[in-house]
Homo-oligomer: A and B are copies of this chain.
């Protein structure tokens, strides 16, 4: 299953174009730009979908389920107590989850060697749950991921789960989680620069 280099180069060019389009329309997390560019400086890597970390409120049976899930709030920056309080006034269908996730970056490499190199750099920067997810003629897909994740139950159809003072503590914790994610991004940027290909 060798990688089709021509196809890989074509996809890389498209991804690079999309990066600048996404930036222009404000779709790209600016926290990520420097890191993504650092990957594009590597001749055998490019990035596709990425997220700098986020806080989401979702109504679903379980926070990892997509089916019957309704995202009612999403933010890539710290949240305030009032933002969440407003959401808690609404009725709940399944369960209301407050989820904080660390950054996720998808890198497609031309060779297995480069995939493993990227993995090592990522692990060094605290992206401990990173791995090669698949390999095909399109390249090696490497997912860079930290262990940062909170999924707190806020409310069910039976009422609130968290008390008044508790909500304060929960908001503090998810904000800390988000900031921890941004710190790992900084560490990743530094690690990439240290291991840059001259």
A residues near B (Cβ < 8 Å) are 1, 61-64, 95, 112-113, 116, 119-120, 129-135, 143, 145-153, 156, 158-163, 165-166, 169-170, 173, 176-177, 180
Contact = CB atoms under 8 A, between A and B. Distances in A.
Contact of A162 (B95, B116, B162): B162
B153 A152 contact: yes
A119 B133 contact: yes
A163 B165 contact: no
A150 B180 contact: no
A148 B64 contact: yes
Contacts of A177: 62
Q: Count copies of this chain in the complex.
A: 2
Contacts of A151: 149-152
Given A160-B166, A163-B163, A131 B143 contact: yes
Nearest to A167: B161
A158 B153 contact: no
Contact of A163 (B62, B150, B160): B160
10 shortest interchain CB distances as A-B pairs: A131-B131, A161-B166, A64-B147, A132-B132, A163-B163, A156-B169, A131-B133, A150-B151, A152-B152, A161-B169
Contacts of A62: 148, 150, 173, 176-177, 180
